[in-house]
Amino acid sequence: MLLKLPPLNALKAFEIAARTGSYVAAANELRVSPAAVSQQVRKLEQYFDKKLFVRYNNRIVLTDAGTTIYTNAAPALQELSDVTRQVLEGSARSRLVVSVLPSLAQDWLAPRLASFCRAMPGIGIETRIEDDPVDFARDGIDLRICYGPFLYPDFKAISLFHDAVVPMCSPNFADEHNLNEANLAQLADEQFLHTSWGSSFASPPNWKDWFANAGIQRSPNISLGHQIGMSSIALEYARLEMGVILGQRQLAANDFRNNGLLLLSEQSLPLSHAYSAVHPHSRSRHSDLQALLEMLTDEAE
């Protein structure tokens, strides 16, 4: 059957411009000039006899015709790229690049990626531990695990889990201080650990919030206790018997199972947002990525 195809170089330039929203960004990815990208897009517009972009402030925005072409062309180009890579690399393993927040990397994601790799030995994983925002196109990222999808409005987002904070400490610390839910309010200010997520995110609920929710008038003095800038490090402080934390329940799940940490109360406070998996729309039909997403969502449930 004779294939009727648009000019592929023009289609490639169009896909990148649509994905990045900028001729300049597309030019950087292609290592050509913005004028060259614009020329290729005009060639595609002439081929279809349709206007594919309109300018909006400092961005280019897809028209209805452009959206139709991009929605169908982007996955096809990605599949063609994947097939090309597999043929050129021969028997080399497929590889996924997964970017993750530092706080989720060890306690939540690592065990799940290990299970996935055992089940799918033909797929290699490159894990990048980094803060938001990330550049999917520049850095070749297939999947981002982040706190809320609001930094990536143009990407496909899947909610993974909505965590909550609960009081916890090491069993030895609880024994040493004869600590339980009933006398938690009597603990010295110096024994409370406080988690802050820095300037980029609203911090999780604090001890004042938790005690108020429990109907108790108590507000531990933050300046007297240890302060930690990452949820996973706060868990490690608790394991090392440094005090009591409002730790994230999902991140501490293995500790509860292995008696590494003791849950002091079922009274919990939810975080403001769910953790999400985000990926480019062009990767929606990538079988390896979809297998990983299926496993992550099943595990989260």
For the chain, the domain total comes to 3
Single-letter code of the amino acid located at 129: I
CATH number of the domain enclosing 19: 1.10.10.10
Q: At 300, list the tokens.
A: 């989260």
For each of the chain's 301 residues, which pLDDT tens digit applies? 577 888 889 999 999 898 888 899 889 989 999 999 999 999 999 999 999 999 887 789 899 988 888 888 887 887 777 777 666 665 455 789 999 999 999 999 999 999 999 999 888 999 999 999 998 877 889 999 999 988 898 889 999 999 999 999 999 999 999 999 999 999 999 999 999 886 666 678 899 999 999 999 999 999 999 999 899 999 999 999 999 999 999 999 999 999 999 999 999 999 999 999 999 888 887 889 999 999 999 876 6
H or E element that contains 124:
strand 123-129
Q: At 89, list the tokens.
A: 């690399």
Q: At 268, list the tokens.
A: 């919990």
**Residues 3-12: contacts with CB within 8 Å, 24+ apart?**
6/44, 6/47, 6/48, 7/40, 7/43, 7/44, 7/47, 9/40, 10/40, 10/41, 10/43, 10/44, 10/47, 11/44, 11/73, 11/77, 12/40, 12/77
Q: Is the pTM of this model over 0.95?
A: no
Angle among Cα 21, 26, 30 to the nearest 5 degrees reads: 165
Single-letter code of the amino acid located at 250: Q
Instruction: Please check whether residues 49 and 191 belong to one and the same domain.
Output: no
H or E element that contains 288:
helix 287-300
The residues, any chain, with a CB within 8 Å of residue 185's CB and separated by 6 or more, are 211, 216, 218
Alpha-carbon torsion angle 234, 236, 241, 242, nearest 10 = -40
Domain membership flag for residue 3: no
Instruction: Please check whether residues 70 and 82 belong to one and the same domain.
Output: yes
The residues, any chain, with a CB within 8 Å of residue 274's CB and separated by 6 or more, are 148, 159, 160, 161, 162, 163
Instruction: Please check whether residues 202 and 73 belong to one and the same domain.
Output: no
H or E element that contains 99:
strand 94-100
Instruction: Please check whether residues 230 and 261 belong to one and the same domain.
Output: yes
* Domain boundaries, position 13: 8-89
Instruction: Please check whether residues 185 and 278 belong to one and the same domain.
Output: no
Domain membership flag for residue 1: no
Instruction: Please check whether residues 185 and 244 belong to one and the same domain.
Output: yes
Say if residues 195 and 207 touch (Cβ distance below 8 Å): no
Q: Residue 112 in 3-state DSSP?
A: helix
Work out whether strand 59-62 and strand 193-195 pair parallel, antiparallel, or are unpaired: unpaired
Instruction: Please check whether residues 173 and 126 belong to one and the same domain.
Output: no
CA-to-CA distance for 237 and 225, rounded, in angstroms? Answer: 12
The C-alpha R_g of the chain, in whole angstroms, comes to 24
